[in-house]
Amino acid sequence: EAHRLDGIGTTIFAEMSALAVRTGSVNLGQGFPDEDGPSAMLEAAVEALRGGRNQYPPGHGTPELLDAVIAHQQRHYGLTLDRHQVVATTGATEAIAGALLGLVDPGDEVVVLEPYYDSYVAMIQMAGGVRRPVTLRAPDFRLDLDELAAAITPRTRLILLNTPHNPTGTVLTRAELEGVAAVAIEHDLIVVTDEVYEHLTFEEPHVPLATLPGMFERTLTISSAGKTFSVTGWKVGWASGPEHLVAAVEGVKNWLSYSSGAPLQPAVAVGLNEHDAFHVALAADLRAKRDVLCDGLADLGLTVHRPAGTYFVTTDVSSYGFADGRAFCAALPEKAGVVAIPSQVFYDDLDEGRHLVRWAFCKRLEVIEEGLGRLR
Ligand code: PMP
Ligand code: GLN
């Protein structure tokens, strides 16, 4: 293997889902819903398949999807885009890969929130970049703007943001985002912001960084249909922003996949254009499930950090007598028949993450109850 793969390994999500299948465990690890997205959207995909949408679509996306993303950004956030300012990707994952390979040169530093989504680490490394984590610290996992400012050096190329944040569930406030914007403007940095959980918030609505004064021209925003419409397996995502940043993603995407799922893109356009009600109901449903899982885990004696968004909750298992979340998660399938994710794999600073464990609540209520029952 090439050195660019050194130490990256396989994703924890595949590892833990395989463990869940092998042990017959309730899978509260990998974040995928166990109910499908809006049926009209699924029907639209079937119609597209039957209607001959089965050859290469335009590399930068089908016109329906590009226009639906444009309309979505306008309607929800007041952002005005044209078709050169959006590119469709194979999930947010390809947009992240495109952004890092297309914008980072070897030796460039990338400031990233820790705990981080695992693909960020892999792609920063493959781009030859150097990650500079800024830690969101328990118990409330807020962004410390002084630590952010201190992480910037003359080699910093971009800030890689994620809000709502996986795995902590933190939703960055407008004040925190203003702080990020001030740092980015002062040092003339690009910000790549992963907003795949934009519609899955429980307290305050999500604020896109690109809507802040002076930020549109330096912000690349990434999202995906996977979370918004409960179709994680469709792998339809997109990146939007000023043309020079979108072009960098497109320049990479051209050679990674060239184009993405022809029949799925028009179907996602139907979701975006006609089914806001789906993700509004999904967020309300997840909020109730969050409370069931958080209350249940707290009753078991775990310290629970209740999230304001996403579909993950972080617990501290040291209150349970486990110093190491990996050991806890390794013992859990056998002892209880449940799978969860050891958050330490999302940290450089093991002292911060060693004792943390992430649980997913994007599951049917009876599955969550079954998981809690087994844990009890
Ligand atoms: N970013 C974050 C923060 C995620 O949680 C996920 C979920 N898998 C992704 C990106 C990847 O999204 P996709 O499945 O659309 O590639
Ligand atoms: N985003 C999902 C999670 O955090 C998993 C995605 C994946 O398996 N790569 O659980």
The span from the CA of 376 to the CA of 371, in Å, is 9
pLDDT digits (tens, 9 = 90+) for 127-158: 999 999 999 999 999 999 999 999 999 999 99
**Residue 10: what pLDDT?**
86
* 104 C-alpha to ligand 1 centroid (Å): 20
Q: Is 332 helix (H, G, I), strand (E, B) or coil?
A: helix
> Looking at the predicted complex, does its ipTM rise above 0.90?
yes
**Ranges of the chain with pLDDT below 70:** none
DSSP 239-268: EESSHHHHHHHHHHHHHHTSS--TTHHHHH
Which atom of ligand 1 lies closest to the CA of 165? 3
Cα(31) to centroid(ligand 2), Å = 5
d(CA 215, CA 195): 15
Proximal ligand: closest to the CA of 93 = 1
pLDDT confidence of residue 37: 96
Domain with CATH 3.90.1150.10 in the chain: 3-37+277-375
Q: Residue 346 and residue 19: Cα distance in Å, rounded?
A: 19
Q: CATH homologous superfamily for 3-37+277-375?
A: Aspartate Aminotransferase, domain 1 (3.90.1150.10)
The predicted pLDDT at position 240 comes to: 98
Note the pLDDT of residue 73.
98
CA 135 to chain centre: 17
- Cβ proximity of 187 and 149 under 8 Å: no
Residue 321's pLDDT is 86
The domain defined by 39-275 folds into: Aspartate Aminotransferase; domain 2 (3.40.640)
Backbone angles phi, psi at 259, to 5 degrees: -150, 170
Residue to probe by mutation, ligand 2, list 11, 13, 194, 200, most atoms within 8 Å of CB: 13
CA of 22 to the centre of ligand 2 (A): 19
Sheet containing 303-305: order of strands:
303-305, 312-316, 356-360, 341-342
Q: Looking at ligand 1, which residue's alpha carbon is closest to its atom 3? A: 166
pTM of the entire predicted model: 0.97
Cα 196 to ligand 1 centroid, rounded to whole Å: 6
